[in-house]
Structure 1
């Protein structure tokens, strides 16, 4: 039987192409995940101990009191703050990470590239790569921060630092203390600390830190592995269908082996060895492809993003072994179902005409079970939508989605051919007889048609579900961001009125669509017996903001940060009263605390109570749709250097970018399973061409032209792909609705379900076009055979 095994592999090698592609893609995805994970870990861990070389120990996430306690004892804080940074000519960014650098040599852990370290406040160092990108040189003056808390500092050196702790700009600790609530991740101690402060010695702290980072990186790896398992599942469907067709075509060969004396067990063992050899070969190839892709992707990321925290790739044997075993087992499991038919094979089958296909559809038991399962899954989803607890409700939704999808898969042999015939009838009005033949061919083997469509159905369902869910989340999130940041860019004075020229200069800046001057006054609020200065503005009637910002008389809309200057718990201060004072005038207002950009806002009537001569304390800008928010902010910031600049457009753009990156990353991973499914359709169609060789020759002999035959095969592939895409889209939208009602409704109560119609149509169209492309090779093979040669085929 070993001779039979090698002969079969040589003879049917081309027919196994889709199965090999499916396994290679899934195994390679696992190896690529390992490569990216290892590179990320090595990049993060490189130089992780650099700041701690002279530290006795450290306290993680210390309180302000603990930080001050150990700094006073000679320790040092690893701190950072997000601040706007500008030079005399341009703005580096609205939210730049600013770290702290010590004036003591002991805590100067950064690697000095040129210049020197600061020796006093008012001096700073800049990351060498950031300096190169932003054209900053030693001797330049940077303005860091806004308003009264802004500091001017001179660049005295360029440094390099491990990616874990790096920042574009470093200022001294006294300057950082002048900003509100700098973020302190760790405070390093010069001596032994107190256990009550959760102090750990340096070795224990670094071990704990590496463990935490490992978990964070592994979480990302596990997320990617989910998509690898999806690809494996699709691979099982493709391989099962491929083996089913091959075994159906080779049934007479197997029966002939039985007639020549081979036992059922020997035939079965030969076929399973064939599947094992295919699995081993595909898995080894997948390991090789994954390793090459992994190194290539890491190298490409390093080339495109020099600051990306990627180190050396280290392929770990547990990952490689797991990928290899999973690829092999996937092939064996997928081939197990078709091989069961061999146990019922009789030697007399060698003397019967070869049927080539199975016209039987699904049995009544399967159809009833499928219908009941689909209804049960749908009911579970509707029950979950009304569940109070979002986390439990989401788990129930997932169960409902899985149950519904299983029911649809069971109904596949009846559902898919029926829809193909229906679509074929409509297509026949345009394409004529080829479409009728295509619909008839697709319905001749219902189980095979359903199995072929099932692999694409998985990928399309997940893809459209992600697109719909993310579009709903995107719309709700952007609406909320528009409420929090309705002004594209605001120039806000914190001490004195803006110059009259600022408004005209702002309107003249390229990228500015419109601007409006906002009247206000410098008021004060009594807090603890001391007046707290507070600029207030009255939003004018204008279409510059994204929404109407009119404030009710007697109300002051204020951010929690501004309210914290005169109330204890600013987040719960809404409804409290405060008295504004301007000169000898007073006005009592009710606080409405919410996230806003710029100064507290009052009504025009309240402003008139406070002053008879309001001044321009802010300029609000509406940017052009395509304007770069950072570049525009840099240009506008120069117009009023002492004003605080709030860049709402940048905040909205950043959130939108994160949503886009996440969405397309998931779509990209799911695309692997879709490509595997399309390879399966091409393979099924190719095997079908071989199987129906005599049939095609007879059609040619009866007058069907080569072009009509190509159109028939093309219509069959398009109908199969389009039907799978339409059913998958319907399921994906329904599943996304259930998930969004639970998850999004709990986090964003005002969110509305918003399926991306154009994108969903694009998915169906792309699936149809991909199906058309997948038929090119099989149709060329079919048309090369002349009618006489085809009729001679067995």
Structure 2
């Protein structure tokens, strides 16, 4: 069978060229997505600040919830879920001495790590690759170790900076920097510069006596221990600390979480890339293989006349597909490695992934991508061959072989099931939550499956209308042929539907979220007369002095943070704000129930609905450093886009967030001109990066589906050479034949655009309704028109180019 399959591939090189190209691209994109996901899952911090220590004691760096479920026969099932924190809790100050007194311990060093906003010469200074700057006491410098390249250790009012910060800010011993922490802003003079640099964080060291005043920490964030037997120390220290004892490679997790690269978001992004790629690959491969099989109907009928069974033909087509995909994997995998590198580079530029992220080659991932490509191609061949292999042997003698009818009931069932699944997702899943974008793509994919399953009858109905609108004699003939050959038109139109609907859904929904964030930000701050741009951040104490000024009648200061709620045994992390409000309202959150209070909790209407919360409930909340508190729910609000789902007391957030700085300040005043600078802070600091990530994924998807469209048109047109030759023999001119082919392409493009617009309208409309109750379909008319015009233009160009080549 394999020898026969290879002979078939050699004989039908032209027919299988398109399938080969589609398989190469499918393997390349699967390999790229797989390598990106593998790399982000196995990524490790680039450096360990506790490299010179043998063990490190630190508090929890995540919120963990454990649920026990009773099963049958007296058995129980235990499930543990964790959520990463963005801050670090403190340890008792006296714990350092107790640990140092344990047998086998040669010394213990307390490390106070705190976020720092550094300014030199009026310019904000960051570490390498825009890394945060973290402050420490000089006593913990030896834990890395950091050593002095120049200058001397810091004394009171002095600081040591690492070599990278010194180079970026042109600092040297004797210079001065301005340091802002949650306790205030101070000017420190540089006493020295270190020789070492950590790639993921800038380091600033102050005198140990200044740490408490600068950091506001009640105790160390970690305690490093020198011991000859870390395992024995861990056993002895466990009863004393009540905290984790980390040894070996796990020591790095004791660092301040904000100083370590965060790979949580990239995991979902790259997983999404694989989902889009796999879905598009199935569509593209099924379409190209189906067209190739249709061109060989007479050959399949001839094989039936000499005794081949449908099962044998399925095996033959499957073997051909497997051999073709195996060969396609040879160039596809290296191409995927190159594509992964390009995507990673662009994502680093957009700051969607940490600057230290690198793609790691892996043989297992490459082989898995190749195997997935082979499996998808074989699956496509099986689907395409389902009806074709039942062709009657007498069709070998017919002038035109036609695939047998049938499978109508199966198509109806599949289309109904997938459409019902899409409706269920759109109606049941909360699209206004964090899963909204992903679930909108799932619903789009289900609707596209419904369109593909019911493609021929749908296309037949549309061509009956569109075909009659074609002008001229050749246009009318094109309409008649399109209605008669609706299955071929469907095979050409479905890639166009895929190309428009998937990419339009991603772009329009992403643009909608950005527009809503901007609109709600404007509505939130509308009551204010002045909206101060506080730069890198403002200490809460400084903001409190501003809001109590004599001519300020109302003010609102917000501190961005993250908070964790536990729902059904699963911790969930949410964007939150600490709010300090005084006087007349300067911030309008669109409160729907209750009222904002100075010591209560407010949640978005989405979160209240999701968690079943009501005003008056007491809600347990874990703050950024893991501190657990229980607050009364006093209000729910609707303007949460670009703001956050929880509002907490500002003093509470300032005490437990690693930065704890005011990011936005809105004032109501009779003298706006007195306040310098009234620039509005951005509504969502990560919106440009998120939009850039979506645009990059759209670019990848567009490239793949665009090639699929060109490929499909080329295969469909090439298979009709005998038909065009018959028209030429009957007296048709080359121009007339080209007009006929162009007319058919125009009909296919119109049908594809209509179906794609319908799918997009359903998904984008439902997503828009879920956000704020407003039905939108276009969202961004320019983007919509550009995608629609580009899809139609590509289809017409592909059809015309194929016709010119074929007729010539």
1:88-127 equivalences in 2 (<5 Å): 88=121, 90-92=123-125, 97-104=132-139, 107=142, 109=144, 114-116=149-151, 118-127=153-162
How far is the alpha carbon of 1:723 from its aligned partner? Answer: 3.0
Aligned partners of 1:371 and 1:407 also within 8 Å: yes
Contact 2:59 2:90 in 1 (8 A): no
Q: Which residue matches 2:490?
A: 450
Aligned positions of 1:401-412 closer than 5 A:
404-412=447-455
Residue 331 of structure 2: which of 264, 269, 285 is its match? 285
Residue 547 of structure 1: aligned partner = none
CA displacement at 1:150 relative to structure 2: 1.3
Q: Which moved more, 1:591-600 or 1:23-32?
A: 591-600
Q: Is the 8 A contact 2:175 2:189 kept in 1?
A: yes
CA distance in 2, matches of 1:278, 1:768: 30
Aligned equivalent of 2:688 = 657
Quote the residue 2:91 is aligned against: 66
Query: In the alignment, is the contact (CA less than 8 A) between 1:409 and 1:454 conserved in 2?
Result: yes
Which residue number in structure 2 is paired with residue 470 of structure 1?
Answer: 510
Q: How far off is 1:99 after superposition?
A: 0.7
Query: 3-state DSSP class of the match of 2:676?
Result: strand
Per the alignment, residue 349 of structure 1 pairs with 395
Aligned residues: CA RMSD: 5.3
Distance 1:115 1:332, change over 3 A: same
C-alpha contact 1:461 1:729 (8 A) present in aligned 2: yes
| Structure 1 residues 773 and 279: CA distance shift in structure 2, 3 A | same
- How many angstroms apart in 1 are the aligned matches of 2:398 and 2:40? 61
Residue in structure 1 matched with residue 807 of structure 2 by the alignment: 783
Q: What is the TM-score normalised by the length of structure 1?
A: 0.69
- Check if 1:145 corresponds to 2:180: yes
Q: Aligned residue for 1:759?
A: 783
Distance 1:243 1:554, change over 3 A: closer
Is 1:670 the counterpart of 2:684? The answer is no
- Aligned partners of 1:711 and 1:226: how far apart in 2? 42
Residue 157 in 1 paired to residue 187 in 2?
Answer: no
Deviation for aligned residue 1:206: 3.5
Contact 2:717 2:806 in 1 (8 A): yes
CA distance in 2, matches of 1:339, 1:440: 27
| 1:475 and 1:751 in contact (8 A); partners too | no
Offset at residue 276 of structure 1 (A) = 1.4
Deviation readout 1:260-280 (Å, 9 max, x if unpaired): 566666554433321110121
CA distance in 2, matches of 1:382, 1:125: 56
Comparing 482-491 with 454-463, greater Cα deviation is found at 482-491
Deviations 1:702-752, CA, capped at 9 Å, x for gaps: 66544454444344334434432332233223223334544x45xxx9998
Whether contact under 8 Å (1:41, 1:311) holds in the other structure is no
Cα 1:227–1:26 change in 2 (3 A) is: farther
Q: How does 1:608-757 map to 2 (within 5 A)?
A: 618-622=675-679, 648-649=680-681, 651-652=682-683, 654-672=685-703, 675-676=704-705, 678-700=706-728, 704-742=732-770, 744=771, 755-757=779-781
Specify every segment of 5 or more residues in structure 1 that has no aligned partner in the other structure, as ranges. Answer: 499-519, 524-532, 541-551, 561-565, 576-590, 605-613, 623-647, 785-794
Is 1:768 aligned with 2:798?
no
Q: Structure 1: how far apart are the matches of 2:520 and 2:376?
A: 45
Distance change (3 Å), C-alpha of 1:407 and 1:296: closer
CA–CA distance in structure 2, aligned partners of residues 149 and 318 of structure 1: 52
Which residue, 364, 373, 376 being the options, matches 1:327?
A: 373
TM-score (norm 2): 0.68
**Match of 1:276?**
322
Structure 1 residue 75 corresponds to structure 2 residue 146: no
Change in Cα spacing, 1:537 to 1:420, as seen in structure 2 (3 Å) is: farther
Cα contact 1:381–1:396 (8 A) shared by 2: yes
Quote the Cα distance in structure 1 between the aligned partners of 2:443 and 2:58: 48
Q: Greater CA radius of gyration, 1 or 2?
A: 1
**Cα displacement (A) at 1:456:** 3.5
Report the CA distance shift for 1:25/1:370 in structure 2 as closer, same or farther (over 3 A). closer
Q: CA deviation at 1:354?
A: 2.9
- Tell me the secondary structure at the aligned position of residue 652 of structure 1: coil
Q: Distance in 2 between matches of 1:314 and 1:167?
A: 26
Aligned-partner SS, 1:344: coil
Kept after mapping to 1: 8 A contact 2:163/2:197: no
1:535 aligns with 2:575: no
Gaps of 5+ in 2: 62-86, 99-107, 227-232, 555-580, 590-596, 603-630, 635-648, 654-660
Residue in 1 aligned with 2:11? 11
Q: Which secondary structure does the structure 1 equivalent of 2:187 belong to?
A: strand
Decide whether the 8 Å contact of 1:100 with 1:172 is kept in 2. Answer: no
- The answer to whether 1:202 aligns with 2:247 is yes
Count residues in correspondence. Answer: 673
Whether the 8 Å CA contact 1:717–1:772 is kept in 2: the answer is yes
Per-residue deviation, 1:335:
0.5
In the TM superposition, residue 299 of structure 1 has moved relative to its aligned partner by 7.0
